A and B are shown apart, each in its own frame.
Chain A
Amino acid sequence: MSPARVDNLDLMAPPIIRTIGRRSLVVGLIFAALSLIGAFIRPDQFFRAYLLSFMAWLGVCLGSMAILMLRHLTKGGWGMIIRRILGAAMRTLPLLALLFIPIFLGLPKLYIWARPLDSISDQHLREHLQQVTQSYLSVSGFAIRAVIYFVIWGGLIFFLTRWSSEQDHPSARDNSTRFKALSGPGLVLYGFTISFAAIDWVMSIDPSWISTIYGLSFLIGEVLSALCFAVVVERILFRYKPMSELLKPDYVHDHGKLMLAFIMVWAYFAFSQWLIIWAGNLPDEITWYMRRLNGGWGYVGLFLVLFHFAVPFVFLLSRPFKRDVTRLVWLAIWIMLMRYLDLYWMIEPNFSQKLSVTWADVVVPFAVGGLWLGYFFHNLASKPLVPAYDVSANEVLEPVHD
């Protein structure tokens, strides 16, 4: 493609994106102020909700990175069209690294292993913790591992971003081989780091419980929420140029298919874990489900079965539905909510036997989300929506010139 043809195109995001970004930031700041007040009044409730919100938005960020790397390995227009949306989402990692710091302040409130051993009344648990905390679940180990995770993610994101930016200029060299060379090992690294991060940050809330599929469940949840988020942003952009001209039903169809595939994988992992633990019925393991199936939590679980899997599954079987972004977007928003509910169901029952929703569960996600979205939209507005000089950008850009 000649540079002249590209220069005629305005591939930048529409100005509305900056406006949405500013408004998100304002919402985020207001809710952050509310959360801060709440944090002083009810710190225990605040930290639980904070961890939940953090994990939810981290999922969108890292899931975007994973889908982007998958795109670099497999190609295809579906990935090119959302490439910069995913890129903008993953570049929010510095903010998330910053937002991770408050979790340290709440360590003893969130994690029983971070409390003094003498304060634990359950003798069985105390003996178990004595072994585990000495070797793995210590505050310093937790911190060192967190730094390692963020450094690895940061490194991957740095190179992916840098090479992608080069493709905005006519003199760009072809980076697809480098992208491939990074993305293969990058996905492997992501798989391991997110699994261990999930163990550290969420699974260890109940330090006596393990499930070997846990990391993979987390991984697929992140990828699913990132894909849904990309569809939502794609829908917003679709109202304006240039996306209104670039987005073809074929790409949306592929996004819908991927959504269906990820939902099925999520259900497959969740069901396998449940079946194996239910059938084994061992006291070490079944307690996790006992907590989550009693005291009202069972309704949440059932709700997830129906509305995180069954109903979206049926909708996504329809071909016209998958091809129409104006319809698909509603399901994408719904699944993002279900992702949040799933995380809620994994985290909250550790702290409360009875189903309970606190003020923090509502306020804190908006605080974290508002700040995150502000940063995201800023990122999105700062780069063209398609790297025009990428060798495979033609496929997406061509129809514009018809």
Chain B
Amino acid sequence: MDERTEPVTAERERAPVIEPGYTFGSVTDKISSIVLTRPTSNGWFFGFGLAFLLTMMMLYAIGYLCVRGTGIWGVTIPIGWGFAIVNFVWWIGIGHAGTLISAILLLLRQSWRNSINRFAEAMTLFAVASAGIFPLIHVGRPWLAYWLFPYPNTMKVWPQFRSPLIWDVFAVSTYATISLLFWFIGLIPDLATLRDRSTNHASRIIYGILAMGWRGSARHWHRYETAYLLLAGLATPLVLSVHTVVSFDFAIGIVPGWHTTIFPPYFVAGAIYSGFAMVLMLSIPIRKIFQLEDFITERHLQNSAKVMLATGLIVAYGYIIEGFMGWYSGNRYDGFTLWNRLHGPYAFFYYMLLICNIVIPQVLWIPRLRSSPIWLFLVSGVVLVGMWLERFIIVVVSLHRDFLTSSWGMYYPTRWDWMTYIGTIGMFLAAMFLFVRVLPMISIFEMRTLLPEAEVKE
């Protein structure tokens, strides 16, 4: 909606988060029918099949990796990190929007989150799962990855607690655990709804087990709300801490282009930026295909676009300050890193990064485009590419030319790198396909609280 033509009242801020005309019953019908009664379309089979094939490709690439070792990748010295870390950071970043939407927006009482939190949380889980694969296979011997955990053992091997890579193990595993719990607890009342509504014996049993005996009594609701709020409080610091720790992976080192103090907030902003881009990339087709425009309204698109614009500007601030300081410091290595980004062999990617992350997203200043699904879809795609390039620039371009000219090198990803990366996208999408098919992708009971009938007169 064009802001200039909106009616000028205080009510304007209350633009609908759910279109009028719904009742408790019709909301429940609409969302649960997608899972329970709607026939599975050919499109779903096709999409899932394709994503599943890509997942198989990833498993093949990983299987071959276990046989042959990381030599099949493009990583070499000096570029020891390559695609594995680029993709890890990219996926972990994408996950952040889910936690932000589910936890922080809940604490801030932003009711518009209610229709997008469920699949944003699912997206977080699948993104973290995709991310988790990379460091695991990057250690070279994934079957020994448990050595990263501090446990008493006869080898007297103990992790180096001063290394941010170890902090990462804790940050990411905590993040995955809390996200899973949060998602599951939020699902319980809806699982009970599905249990009660499904006509199929098997699905009644499965949903029944998952609903953990939920009967919707007042005591259940009371405990549920308390648990949910507590988890939201626990999850809130994680939005900041996980990507902060990821940024320390780089900033603690002294490699020019990595060792810079702006990294923590800049990484967090970039994570939320790409996360919201992924939320939009998913929600725009989903609301179209499943006719959910009444629940995922223009308001959601606008708000997500605003979050993207704001976090994108913080990212832009990071580039500008980093560029300026590289020049101002007079440090020859920092200066060279800047020069190398602008004129080195990977300069094309740096310019693409600037265009994708800074230039193009500025169209979001235009209110009309903020509510246009097509524009938002395109801009989100551009941002996802841009944020991937950003991690590529940070990892590869900083490593490939460091202090000693004699140890410079180039990085070329191999087909195994690409197969693994594209495979994780397939795995992510396959999981999303399954999720929208078997679980309510919008929280039924939280949507009902948005209805006028739900307002309790005190």
- The finding on whether chains A and B are genuine partners in a shared complex, rather than unrelated, reads yes
B244 and A272 form a contact (CB under 8 A): yes
A131 and B4 form a contact (CB under 8 A): no
For the complex formed, measure the closest distance between the CB of A115 and the CB atoms of chain B, giving whole angstroms. Answer: 18
A212 and B262 form a contact (CB under 8 A): yes
B10 proximal to A (CB < 8 A): yes
Contact of B240 among A177, A210, A268, A282 (CB under 8 A): A268
B8 proximal to A (CB < 8 A): yes
A188→B9 CA distance, assembly (Å): 27
| Stretch in A88-96, A273-281, A296-304, A370-378 with 4+ CB within 8 Å of B | A273-281
Residues from chain B with Cβ under 8 Å of A199 in the complex: 328
A210→B334 CA distance, assembly (Å): 11
B8 and A280 form a contact (CB under 8 A): no
Known contacts: A132-B330, A177-B3, A284-B331. The answer to whether A279 contacts B252 by CB under 8 A is yes
Contact of A276 among B162, B261, B328 (CB under 8 A): B261
Q: Please count the residue pairs between chain A and chain B whose beta carbons lie under 8 angstroms apart in the complex.
A: 83
Total count of chain A residues near the partner, CB < 8 A: 38
For the complex formed, measure the closest distance between the CB of A206 and the CB atoms of chain B, giving whole angstroms. Answer: 12
B205 proximal to A (CB < 8 A): no
For the complex formed, measure the closest distance between the CB of A228 and the CB atoms of chain B, giving whole angstroms. Answer: 21
Closest to A215 in B: B321
Known contacts: A272-B244, A280-B259, A282-B254. The answer to whether A216 contacts B265 by CB under 8 A is yes
Chain B contact-residue range equals 20 to 34
Known contacts: A191-B317, A268-B240, A394-B10. The answer to whether A177 contacts B4 by CB under 8 A is yes
Contact of A210 among B13, B162, B318, B328 (CB under 8 A): B328
Closest to B334 in A: A210
Known contacts: A191-B317, A268-B264, A272-B244. The answer to whether A392 contacts B10 by CB under 8 A is yes
Contact of A280 among B254, B318, B325, B331 (CB under 8 A): B254
B-contact 0/1 string along A175-200, CB 8 Å cutoff: 01100100010001001100100010
A277 and B321 form a contact (CB under 8 A): no
Residues from chain A with Cβ under 8 Å of B8 in the complex: 174, 176-177, 391
Closest to B262 in A: A212
B293 proximal to A (CB < 8 A): no
A117→B42 CA distance, assembly (Å): 77
B-contact 0/1 string along A251-269, CB 8 Å cutoff: 0000000000000000011
A353 proximal to B (CB < 8 A): no
CB-contacts of B1-38 with A (<8 A)? 3-4, 8-10, 13
A191→B321 CA distance, assembly (Å): 11
Contact of B265 among A132, A136, A210, A269 (CB under 8 A): A269
A282 and B259 form a contact (CB under 8 A): yes
A213 and B262 form a contact (CB under 8 A): yes
A152→B240 CA distance, assembly (Å): 32
B260 proximal to A (CB < 8 A): yes
Residues from chain A with Cβ under 8 Å of B254 in the complex: 280, 282
A-contact 0/1 string along B232-264, CB 8 Å cutoff: 000000001000100010011110000111111
A276 and B265 form a contact (CB under 8 A): no
A136→B330 CA distance, assembly (Å): 11
B330 and A128 form a contact (CB under 8 A): yes
B360 proximal to A (CB < 8 A): no
A211 proximal to B (CB < 8 A): yes
Known contacts: A177-B4, A210-B329, A394-B10. The answer to whether A276 contacts B317 by CB under 8 A is no
For the complex formed, measure the closest distance between the CB of A175 and the CB atoms of chain B, giving whole angstroms. Answer: 10
A275 and B265 form a contact (CB under 8 A): no
A212→B318 CA distance, assembly (Å): 8
B354 proximal to A (CB < 8 A): no
Known contacts: A192-B320, A391-B10. The answer to whether A136 contacts B328 by CB under 8 A is yes
Known contacts: A276-B259, A280-B252. The answer to whether A192 contacts B264 by CB under 8 A is no
A208→B334 CA distance, assembly (Å): 13
Closest to B314 in A: A191
Known: A213-B262, A272-B244, A276-B252. 15 other contacts (CB 8 A): A131-B330, A195-B317, A210-B329, A210-B331, A212-B262, A212-B263, A212-B322, A268-B240, A272-B261, A275-B252, A276-B261, A277-B261, A279-B252, A284-B329, A391-B8
Can you sample 21 A-B contacts with CB below 8 Å? Answer: A75-B13, A131-B330, A177-B4, A180-B3, A191-B313, A195-B321, A210-B328, A211-B261, A212-B263, A215-B321, A268-B240, A268-B264, A272-B261, A272-B263, A276-B252, A276-B261, A279-B162, A280-B254, A284-B329, A391-B9, A391-B10
The 7 A-B residue pairs with the shortest CB-CB distance in the complex, in nearest-first order: A212-B262, A213-B261, A272-B264, A279-B252, A273-B261, A174-B8, A210-B329
